[in-house]
Amino acid sequence: MMAVVLENTANCLWLAFEALQQDRSGLVHKSKLKVLTANIGTLLDLYGVERGLEHFRSTSVLNFNQFKYYLQQEVFSSLPKTLQHHELRLFESKIAEVCWLICRTRYLPRDNRIFSDDSMFQIFRIFGVLAELVPDQYNENVYQVLLHPSEVCNIAQSIASSLGCYFDEEDFTSLSISMGNFRFAPFIAVLESRCLNEISDTVALEESVNNIYQKIVEDVIKKGFLTKKGYIFPTMREYWFVLRPSELTYYTGRNEKDRRGSLTLEPRCKVEPKAGYKILLHSSERTYELGTTDHMSRLQWISALQLASEHSGKYQSFQRLQATKRRLQRQGRVQEMIRAKYQLQQERNAREAAEGHAKELRSRYEGRS
């Protein structure tokens, strides 16, 4: 499980590590890494884990891979062998908060400021989930955290559409061609100056960012009002439900402050419809009866519950797996383009060779005659 936590927090850790550099060498003094290490250790109820940095390797500086190795051996190794999805999310969130405290001064002061500080942290987390840690081609100690333009486009479109704003996809496509993959600072700059520069409703903007944050980072598959049949008093009562892999939590209202309970989901769960727009959720413990308002709503909830149940047994979050799937699809398309380009070049070479051979034969024939 420590490998999963390290993998999921690597992007945030690098951005914090990068902020501690004095130059672009990819090396950070151990004295600066002590604070970061101590704070991460405190999250896991480990104290004094930073002291071992002094005796780890004989150098006064560490590169990122060396620092990750130290965290893996001295800090994350204390994690339980298995973690529930909500426990994994909690650890990742706390580590990301520590990293953000270290690197936020690089990103908060900016022109054309639209996002609040809270929204900036949420976007930092979204970026950390969707982006890829890529080695620098010029320095083996340096990395870049890069987000593909298609992911940036999806985020910008989601925010703009939720606020009823126009999103100029052609302009963004032209921009992304010139920029390539996005680092965090340019990602924020493009969102604020090119995609969302006409938005003035800050409350609505924060709500829109929060919805994307819940989907990508908190792994929320679906939210909405449902009725639930009571266990002691068998009456149907309305609650606000939030569905994630492995759990269906319900609250008294959509502000999600008063939590009333949670239904555990597992791969063996079965979901089936019942007359009257109702749903039966069969778990190993008992059967729950839920009610929707119409046929379409019931179909959507059944599909979402089945998806959450199927994913509940997997160690990685649903959205991270979806991001990996999209990344592999993009890589597959690139490889296909390379193969197609190679094939076209081979055909062109063969055609030129054939034309050259035909020209040579024609010259010989004309010379004889």
Residue 215 has pLDDT above 90, yes or no: yes
Please compute Rg for the chain using Cα positions.
Answer: 27
Q: Which of 168-172, 181-185, 291-295, 307-311 bottoms out in mean pLDDT, i.e. has the lowest?
A: 168-172
User: How far apart (Å, rounded) are the C-alpha atoms in residues 191 and 210?
Assistant: 15
For 134-153, what is each residue's pLDDT tens digit? 999 899 999 999 999 999 99
* CA distances for 27 relative to 66, 67, 133, 138, 142, angstroms: 10, 10, 17, 14, 8
Of 111-120, 254-263, 276-285, 329-338, the range with the lowest mean pLDDT is: 329-338
Task: Let me know how long the chain is.
Answer: 369
The answer to whether 226 and 238 have CB atoms below 8 angstroms apart is yes
CA distance 168 to 198: 12
Q: Model pTM?
A: 0.86
Domains of the chain: 2-106 (1.10.238), 126-216 (no CATH), 222-311 (2.30.29.30)
Mean of per-residue pLDDT scores for the chain: 90
pLDDT tier, 342 (very low <50, low <70, confident <90, very high otherwise) = low
Alpha-carbon span 80 to 311, nearest angstrom: 21
Which residues are paired to 227 by β-bridges?
238, 291
For residues 159-171, give the mean pLDDT.
Answer: 87
